[in-house]
Chain A
Amino acid sequence: MTRGRSAAVLILRFAFAVILGWASIDKILHPWAFSQDIVNYRVIGDGLSAVAAIWLPYLELFTAVCLLAGLWLDGAVLVNAGLMWLFLILVLQAFFRRLDIHCGCFTVKGESVIGPLKIAENAAFAAGSLALLLLEAGLKNRRVKNRP
């Protein structure tokens, strides 16, 4: 049972590391274009969007590295879940407000508009990140309990 759980954690860690790492590259290369994408969601103003555009890609990248290398794993898993749920909420509010915008999820330009498929994708990521958080917490508790 524990072995299965460990394997699931490992697979989810690797999957989210790839997703976050891949998503961060284009945003790191084009921060200004990414800040425009954030503004289009109409949740925060221009100034905060610029700060978020400088910060978020590196948060994604650092989280990806930590997930891959197992550094600060419990913190990285928490940040990962926070990011995935934040993205889901942003995409959902854009959809229900009928904002005709590009997602800005993986590339800053030319990506598909927000629709049911994009929502399903983000919902799957959010659910996976929650599963990773719970599984990792369970494994950590077991390790603590088994300590002599």
Chain B
Amino acid sequence: MSRFRRAVLLSLAALAAGLIVNQFHPEGIPGRMTRALFMSGRPFRRVSPDSAMAAHQRGAAVFVDIRDPREFRAGRIPGAENHPIQPFFRDFAAFQKSHPVDTAYIFYCFEPACREGRAMLAWMRRAGYRRVAWMYGGLSEWTQNRWPVETGEPNP
């Protein structure tokens, strides 16, 4: 067997092992999450922090904070739900059950670009959710504007 063939086989064996272990890994990247990440570059509907604030005041949208629970407790948009990316993709069926398709959702991160949020948005659109958007500027711009922030455990 040639050197190149062995190198290719070694690479393929590593890929196979990675994909298998990833299925059972507690911090693994679920397959649907990888697919959503491939779709996350598409131009999804985005809202400015000003429009998001207006929607928040009218109660017109559910705000989805995708950061980890520790960051979520440290400060969030009042009334926001916490759905970190990995649990979201691991159990999307549970999310679907408790979130109606016709409700408006606005995803946000801390940083402006929010690439994980866009991946989640891509997956929601694929599942039939049409009123979904992400807030550019993120929580960083929200806090810079000195708009209200909620801390601690969320209300049940």
Show the binding face of A for B, using Cβ within 8 Å.
28-33, 35, 39, 45-51, 53-55, 57-59, 61-63, 66, 72, 74-76, 78-79, 82
Number of interface residues of B (CB under 8 A): 33
**B1-57 interface with A by 8 A CB criterion:** 3-11, 13-15, 17-19, 21-22, 25, 27-29, 33-35, 37-41
Give bound CA distance, A33 to B8, whole Å. 27
For the A-B complex with A28-B21, A74-B6 known, give 6 more contacts whose Cβ atoms are closer than 8 Å: A31-B28, A33-B27, A46-B38, A46-B115, A63-B14, A78-B3
Residues of A within 8 A of B27 (CB): 29-33
8 nearest CB pairs, A to B: A75-B6, A47-B38, A59-B14, A46-B37, A58-B14, A75-B7, A74-B3, A58-B18
Q: Is B64 an interface residue (CB 8 A)?
A: no
**A49 and chain B: residue at smallest CB distance:** B37
Inside 8 A of A62's CB, which chain B residues have their CB?
Answer: 10, 13-14, 17
Task: List chain B residues, Cβ under 8 A from A55.
Answer: 11, 14-15, 18
Is B80 an interface residue when CB atoms closer than 8 A count as contact? no
Partner of B10, one of A35, A39, A45, A79: A79
By the criterion CB–CB under 8 Å, are A82 and B7 in contact?
yes
Flag if A79 contacts B34 (CB, 8 Å). no
Partner of A39, one of B11, B17, B115: B115
Please give the residue numbers on chain B whose beta carbons come within 8 Å of chain A beta carbons, in ascending order.
3-11, 13-15, 17-19, 21-22, 25, 27-29, 33-35, 37-41, 85-86, 115, 119
Total contacts A to B, CB within 8 angstroms? 93
The answer to whether A50 and B33 touch across the interface, beta carbons within 8 angstroms, is yes
Give the secondary structure class of B's interface. helix
> Is there an interface contact between A46 and B29, defined as CB atoms closer than 8 Å?
no
CA distance in complex: A144, B30 (Å)? 47
Partner of B22, one of A39, A54, A61, A78: A54
How far apart sit A61 and B33, CA to CA, in the bound complex (Å)?
Answer: 24
> When the two chains form their complex, are residues A75 and B17 in contact, meaning their CB atoms are under 8 A apart?
no
Which residue on chain B has the smallest CB distance to residue A24?
Answer: B14
* Cross-chain contact B38 with A76 (CB below 8 angstroms): no
CA distance A33 to B39 in the complex (A): 19
Q: Offer 24 A-B interface pairs, CB within 8 angstroms, sorted by A.
A: A31-B28, A33-B27, A46-B37, A46-B40, A47-B35, A47-B37, A47-B40, A49-B37, A50-B34, A54-B22, A54-B28, A55-B15, A55-B18, A58-B18, A59-B15, A59-B18, A62-B14, A63-B14, A72-B6, A75-B5, A75-B9, A75-B10, A76-B6, A82-B7
**Contact B7 A46, beta carbon cutoff 8 Å:** no
CA distance A32 to B34 in the complex (A): 10
Given known pairs A31-B27, A39-B115, the reply for A72 and B9 (CB within 8 Å) is: yes
B4 touching A46, Cβ below 8 Å: no
